[in-house]
Amino acid sequence: MRVEQIAVFLENKSGRLAEIAEILAEAGINIRALSVADTADFGILRLIVDKVSEAEAALRAGGFTVGKTNVIAVEVPDKTGGLAMVLKAIRETGLNVEYMYAFVNKTGENAVLIFRFDEMDRAIEALQAEGFTILRSSQIYNL
């Protein structure tokens, strides 16, 4: 039920994101989703890729600091209110969203919301109880 995500710490300077994209492309790694957050001095690039171990090794070899975390991928209808439905279910449990990002499937029928919660197991239980589909990592990597 959990998806492995890579977090890469970046200096906030021109060309660093392009360097990561090139490293991954040269290694034959496909980016499925990403999010970039920055401060004045550094950024955090969060990536979901089709080959997690290979991506981690390639980025480390390229001199980047890389970490792995688990996130949850929730499938929702790609329509107005999709995010609100998920957040309502989470709010009622008292859980906290640490961060999230989203992407739309190629079919355009559904969106996939990527979440990191303070209590991952409770979040999975709460979302499944409300009828949400939690995608497996293989489903995300192959989208």
Dump pLDDT digits (tens) for 89-101.
999 899 999 999 9
Confidence of residue 139 (pLDDT cuts 50, 70, 90): confident
Q: Are residues 40 and 49 in contact, defined by beta-carbon separation less than 8 angstroms?
A: no
Question: Which secondary structure element, helix H or strand E, spans residue 107, and what is its range?
Answer: none
Q: Does the global pTM surpass 0.75?
A: yes
Q: Are residues 75 and 140 in contact, defined by beta-carbon separation less than 8 angstroms?
A: no
Architecture per CATH, domain 2-69, reads as 2-Layer Sandwich (3.30)
Which CATH code, of 3.30.360.10, 3.40.50.11310, 3.40.190.10, 3.30.70.260, is assigned to 71-141?
Answer: 3.30.70.260
Instruction: State the pLDDT at residue 120.
Output: 93
